[in-house]
Chains A and B, each alone.
Chain A
Amino acid sequence: KQEVTQIPAALSVPEGENLVLNCSFTDSAIYNLQWFRQDPGKGLTSLLLIQSSQREQTSGRLNASLDKSSGRSTLYIAASQPGDSATYLCATRGGTSYGKLTFGQGTILTVHP
Chain B
Amino acid sequence: DTAVSQTPKYLVTQMGNDKSIKCEQNLGHDTMYWYKQDSKKFLKIMFSYNNKELIINETVPNRFSPKSPDKAHLNLHINSLELGDSAVYFCASSLRELNTGELFFGEGSRLTVL
A binding-site residues for B, Cβ under 8 Å: 31-32, 34, 36, 41-46, 49, 51-52, 87, 89, 91, 93, 97-103, 105-106
Known: A97-B99, A98-B50, A100-B56. 4 other contacts (CB 8 A): A31-B99, A32-B100, A101-B33, A101-B45
Closest to B110 in A: A41
Given contacts A42-B108, A43-B107, contact A103 B43 (CB under 8 A): yes
- Contact partner of A98 (CB less than 8 A), chosen from B56, B58, B102, B105, is B56
Residues of A within 8 A of B92 (CB): 44
A-B contacts at CB below 8 angstroms, number: 60
Interface of chain B, main secondary structure? strand
Q: Is the pair B56, A43 in contact by a Cβ cutoff of 8 Å? A: no
Q: Number of contacting residues on B, CB 8 A?
A: 28
Question: Nearest B residue to A99 by beta-carbon distance?
Answer: B99
Residue of B nearest to A87 (CB): B41
Interface string of B63-97 (1 = CB under 8 A from A): 00000000000000000000000000010100010
* Complex-state Cα separation, A85 to B41, whole angstroms: 16
* Contact assessment for B45 and A44 in the assembled complex, using a CB-CB cutoff below 8 Å: no
B100 touches A31 (CB 8 A): yes
